[in-house]
Amino acid sequence: DADVTQTPRNRITKTGKRIMLECSQTKGHDRMYWYRQDPGLGLRLIYYSFDVKDINKGEISDGYSVSRQAQAKFSLSLESAIPNQTALYFCATSDSAAVQETQYFGPGTRLLVL
């Protein structure tokens, strides 16, 4: 079984719609992240959470919101989707207690906004 899962894997929506992307992990990690990836660009951080009560904006948080419902769950919402939010979205986790704080990624959600 995958340690980091994302739902849905693919989503097509229309401009103005609200959508939620969900991430769950069984790794027991305290830190979770949401990234987007666009062709030719590196991974860009949207939001990150160091524990359930800690939420921080990343490089490109405008137009997005998040919720850390539990240590294992971190959701990303697009309140009113727009076409330039079409991208591949990744959730990642890491363990702050690890000497080498490697991030582990979910399989990604491919989002198309029409």
Partner 1 sequence: GQNIDQPTEMTATEGAIVQINCTYQTSGFNGLFWYQQHAGEAPTFLSYNVLDGLEEKGRFSSFLSRSKGYSYLLLKELQMKDSASYLCAVSDSNYQLIWGAGTKLIIKP
Which spans of this chain sit near partner 1 (rule: CB under 8 A)? 40-45, 48, 88, 90, 100-108, 110
C-alpha to C-alpha distance for 105 and 33, rounded to whole angstroms: 9
CB nearer partner 1, residue 75 or residue 105: 105
CB nearer partner 1, residue 42 or residue 84: 42
Q: In the complex, what is the shortest distance from the CB of residue 85 to partner 1, in angstroms, rounded to a whole number?
A: 18
Non-local (6+) Cβ contacts of 35 within 8 A are 43, 44, 45, 46, 89, 90, 91, 92
Q: In the complex, what is the shortest distance from the CB of residue 107 to partner 1, in angstroms, rounded to a whole number?
A: 5
Determine which helix (DSSP H) or strand (DSSP E) holds 74, and give its type and residue range: strand 73-78
CB nearer partner 1, residue 44 or residue 73: 44
Q: In the complex, what is the shortest distance from the CB of residue 16 to partner 1, in angstroms, rounded to a whole number?
A: 27
Q: In the complex, what is the shortest distance from the CB of residue 44 to partner 1, in angstroms, rounded to a whole number?
A: 8
C-alpha to C-alpha distance for 57 and 62, rounded to whole angstroms: 9
CB nearer partner 1, residue 45 or residue 52: 45
Half-sphere exposure of 12 toward its Cβ, with a 13 Å CA cutoff? 1
